[in-house]
Structure 1
Amino acid sequence: MIITTTMNVEGHDVKEYKGIVFGEVVEGRNFLKDFMSGIRDVIGGRSGSYENSLMKARQAALDEMADRAQKIGANAVIGVSVQYNTLGQDGGMLMVTCTGTAVVI
């Protein structure tokens, strides 16, 4: 499955548009990660645990979007965008959403 942020795939023509596809992941924050992140904020440095969680959530959302595209007969997703939002009363949940157009090339 080809996934791209561009509106075309170089060297390929879009033969059929299948529709808009989404991938969504909602991840709760973890007390231990929050605690360790707070320590890093005080002493400096990057928060590897949050970066790792964000990377996994983003990949899961992209994989979900690709699976949905494949189920409707597409072999590529073009025009992909990724959004990040916090949810919940205290912003304790992270939502990653991927959106794109499923196509046959």
Structure 2
Amino acid sequence: MILTTTNSIEGFRIVEYKGIVTGVSVNTRKASFSFKMDKYYASVEATMNDAKEDAFQKLTENAKKLNANAVVGIKLDLETNPNLAMTMVSVTGTAVNVATDK
């Protein structure tokens, strides 16, 4: 599965548009009573990366359900709520079928 933020893929042409697909992931961090900021930042980074990877996995699964082999024009939205220790990642793009130009 090809995933890209661009609207085209070099060396390929879009032969069919399948529809818009989305992947959303909401992760919560476990409360930490340690006030070491480096540990806190590492925890936030890990949580964001986990949420991003999960959202992209869901996006890919939704594109496969449409029998697509690529997703173009991907946009990423990241929301955090420190009060709830929550991170939400949403990725949206257009599922397509592509073929090589050759």
Instruction: Give the TM-score band, short-chain normalised.
Output: 0.7 to 0.9
What is the alpha-carbon distance in structure 2 between the residues aligned to residue 86 and residue 10 of structure 1?
Answer: 34
Q: Which runs of 4+ in 1 moved over 4 A?
A: none
Aligned identity (percent) is: 38
Q: Deviations over 1:17-61 (max 9, x none)?
A: 0000000001123102xx34x421xxx687112111111110110
5+ residue gaps, structure 2, are none
User: Which AA in structure 2 matches 1:39?
Assistant: K
Q: How much is the aligned-residue C-alpha RMSD, in angstroms?
A: 2.0
Show the counterpart of 2:71. 77
Show the counterpart of 2:30. 30
User: Which AA in structure 2 matches 1:16?
Assistant: E
Question: Whose helix fraction is larger, Structure 1's or Structure 2's?
Answer: 1
What is the alpha-carbon distance in structure 2 between the residues aligned to residue 62 and residue 29 of structure 1?
Answer: 19
What is the alpha-carbon distance in structure 2 between the residues aligned to residue 46 and residue 91 of structure 1?
Answer: 15
Question: Whose strand fraction is larger, Structure 1's or Structure 2's?
Answer: 2
What is the alpha-carbon distance in structure 2 between the residues aligned to residue 92 and residue 45 of structure 1?
Answer: 15
Aligned length: 98
2:54 match: secondary structure: helix
User: Which AA in structure 1 matches 2:87?
Assistant: L
1:53 and 2:57 matched = no
5+ residue gaps, structure 1, are none
Q: Scaled by the length of structure 1, what TM-score is found? A: 0.83
